[in-house]
Structure 1
């Protein structure tokens, strides 16, 4: 790199360090505030899950309206909602079908064969 470019970058970094303040504020957060935020997040997870179209169609197939399900969630205790939200978040995002696994194995075997005998 050229010497002029290095000088320019150095001066730019010094200018940025002087112009932009390095300040932060740390403080104690009350436990009840954290607990309330976690409970709100858990209720948000469950209500978002209930708002999905596939979940609503499954509820209707079981004979439960979406309004009734929301009312039932609103009546649940914080512990129950937290447990339900944990179960929802523990579910796999996309279940791997046997065909997808077979296709992945075939692609891996083909790639190994191709690069080994190439």
Structure 2
């Protein structure tokens, strides 16, 4: 019986010593910079949308702050970059209405294609 226990103990110890293959890949500098740039651009959009005047304008349009946060989180990196480019082109101080209108248009487009369902008056094309 003692030899059976010892055999089981050795089997368990051997199984614990097995080495699983590691997987690694090279990460290019471009990938790292791209990921950081994407994160920075998303943070810029989030910061802009957290402003009280922007949120007041969105609330006037019937969009809650939580819906905006969820929508920005669901946006692709290309959409976030495009939104940042539009914000950079807007005149300083006078672009809030334009920004809110742009965000509203993006929300309407994603509702129309069926990606989201924020506005009940919009029926998706699917």
State TM-score, norm by structure 1: 0.54
Please give the alpha-carbon distance, in whole angstroms, between the structure 1 residues aligned to 2:59 and 2:77: 25
Bigger relative contact order, structure 1 or 2, given CA contacts below 8 A and separation 6+? 1
Q: How many residues align?
A: 67
Please give the alpha-carbon distance, in whole angstroms, between the structure 1 residues aligned to 2:68 and 2:30: 30
Q: What's the Cα RMSD here?
A: 1.3
In structure 2, the gaps of 5 or more residues are 1-27, 95-126
State TM-score, norm by structure 2: 0.50
Deviations 1:62-106 (A, max 9, x none): 0000110010010011100110011112211134xxxxxxxxxxx
Greater Rg over alpha carbons, structure: 1
Quote how far apart the aligned CAs of 1:48 are.
0.6
In structure 1, the gaps of 5 or more residues are 1-28, 96-118
Deviations 1:8-56 (A, max 9, x none): xxxxxxxxxxxxxxxxxxxxx7000110111011101100111001100
